[in-house]
Structure 1
């Protein structure tokens, strides 16, 4: 469901390139004809097997050029094919006639792939040569910041509530202190401030935002609020205890274990922190230890299982476990980092063990 917002954004990007193609074919016209946008509507007809592969179909009948662009039905089909090739060329970095990114295209790109995580990508098939081009978070940032100073992306995390403000009956905000971007002012509904945030200063707040960053990933503003809520007090206290333990591990010097044991790395600490903030509900059960290789080990029990989540010195993560009463065993499986692939596997395993 989270990726559905990418589909209208993709359509808007395609339409922008279709307009460029129309103008190339009709240099005597200053504007595209009325009804051009309506002729380019798409239906979601299937979700194919795989990692969220939506199948889109241009509805040539319900939204045909005969209805909205009389006399241009055949030409509009060629324009759509050409526009799709231009989108593929843009993402793939192919040389050619791809138009510069105007404000319309940047606006579409700011929504297309805004929720991409570090281990995710959007793939498009080149219908000419059969090759696949990929849009990941890095490539998307390159494209947008190549045309303007800032880009929009999804930000998910937990911060400390340090202030609230109600300016009017329609306008209010909360200020949250984050480890990544400092103090962030987030617009919220005045009623939510009164009912949920007032009286909860210094409490943890969990948020999912669409934010605007510059090319150096410095925070500029909140573009949209997808979700924000005060974290349950018991979970918040458990999370604070885990963070305190991380600080203890950070202070360990090399040789902490009878003369051996490397200092815990920043990559391991960042990976562990990311895991804690994304799976806070188990924080009360977590037990955190350093590893001799400079990593961090988190042990916890759930159901009839004893699980271990280990973060290496490079930030990769591995999960394994054993059945407490029985001979069941979960063999280790390694993931490059704490991304959606790992978190999905973690959730599936936890659900399977009750």
Structure 2
């Protein structure tokens, strides 16, 4: 048996095309879980002589997305009941009451939540509404035509009304300080100087060994973390993805360089050729010697690149993108100079160039 159950409304830029992003759909699964647990609670409250709900009470209940109507994104959720639940009929009313109670809970001030809504179920809001961004809302219809409006801030307040911490999606970046192989975690130094422990799958162990303790390589962590009421990060609960950007400062610099357009320098500068720039970027980011300090990279007005190091002899390299050639210069001992040209057309050429840099770029003494 199928009947219309509820039609929430998502608002925000992501929903203007009347579509439902995949990551938002998980909110509807979390909503279904909340309805089921709340319906169980309501049933047991009215049947104190029972320890459990009737067999099939929840397993024969589920919500399906029947359609998405215009007006931002308005998915119509249909109640599908089967088995004994469909035959008896009475139990289905607990799900409808749970639906109404959730909407009332969302609409009410956190200091005056409905007495029928148990505090221990507020933890469901760690999942329900977690995908909402700051400019988005989820509206649940109430009796009388009004709505309860769930925002990221309201979701946080609902969880903290019963818990010390709340969960939210995170996208963290930093460097691996150290790893604990037994616990399968690593300590991440964040960009703001803070630290947090991150769980890692066994498949990431080899990368953690490769990039651990090397600040120039940035690790991006996407997952779920807990925060306190002051929005201070407590710990990463789970990880959805772990990615590494090698030689992150170089990668960021090339992202800027590829955006240059002709006229960038006092109206006269030639923008570097994007295809040639991409080749150089790939080589420098992917294969730059680990023990050699990273250079500063600047565009030149004629459309090429200048690399400079704060190192002994003030070394620099001019890279001619069109000719695929690098020209090295530095001041050597006894006022002498070191000059060397390198072709950069093949992998072997780049290998020779990097070997030369490894020998001649010496960090200045502190």
The verdict on a shared fold, with TM-score over 0.5 as the criterion, is: yes
Q: Specify the alignment match of 1:82 in structure 2.
A: 97
Shift of 1:82: 1.0
How many residue pairs get matched? 238
Q: Specify the alignment match of 1:340 in structure 2.
A: none
5+ residue gaps, structure 1: 242-280, 288-299, 304-354
Query: Are 2:134 and 1:118 aligned?
Result: yes
**Greater CA deviation, 140-149 or 107-116?**
107-116
1:304-323 superposed Cα distances (whole Å, 9 cap, x missing partner): xxxxxxxxxxxxxxxxxxxx
1 CA distance for matches of 2:140 and 2:99? Answer: 10
Q: Specify the alignment match of 2:38 in structure 1.
A: 17
Gap change, CA 1:96 and 1:154, over 3 Å in 2:
closer
2 CA distance for matches of 1:160 and 1:52? Answer: 39
5+ residue gaps, structure 2: 1-21, 261-270, 275-366
Shift of 1:115: 2.6
Shift of 1:34: 2.1
Q: How does 1:1-354 map to 2 (within 5 A)?
A: 1-60=22-81, 64=82, 67-69=83-85, 72-73=88-89, 75-93=90-108, 96-102=114-120, 105-126=121-142, 128-167=143-182, 171-179=183-191, 182-195=194-207, 198-199=210-211, 201-202=214-215, 203-233=217-247, 236-239=249-252, 282-285=255-258
Are the equivalent residues in 2 in contact too, given 1:89–1:98 (CA < 8 A)?
Answer: no
Are the equivalent residues in 2 in contact too, given 1:174–1:193 (CA < 8 A)?
Answer: no
1 CA distance for matches of 2:114 and 2:104? Answer: 8
Q: Secondary structure at the match of 1:29?
A: coil
Gap change, CA 1:20 and 1:190, over 3 Å in 2:
closer
Shift of 1:52: 4.2
Q: Secondary structure at the match of 2:211?
A: coil
Are the equivalent residues in 2 in contact too, given 1:90–1:98 (CA < 8 A)?
Answer: no
Q: Specify the alignment match of 1:244 in structure 2.
A: none
Say which one has the larger Rg: 2
When the two chains are superposed, the root-mean-square deviation of aligned CA atoms in Å is 2.9
Gap change, CA 1:197 and 1:131, over 3 Å in 2:
farther
TM-score normalised per structure 1: 0.60
Gap change, CA 1:285 and 1:51, over 3 Å in 2:
farther
Shift of 1:54: 2.7
1:290-316 superposed Cα distances (whole Å, 9 cap, x missing partner): xxxxxxxxxx99x9xxxxxxxxxxxxx
Shift of 1:164: 2.8
Are the equivalent residues in 1 in contact too, given 2:179–2:208 (CA < 8 A)?
Answer: no
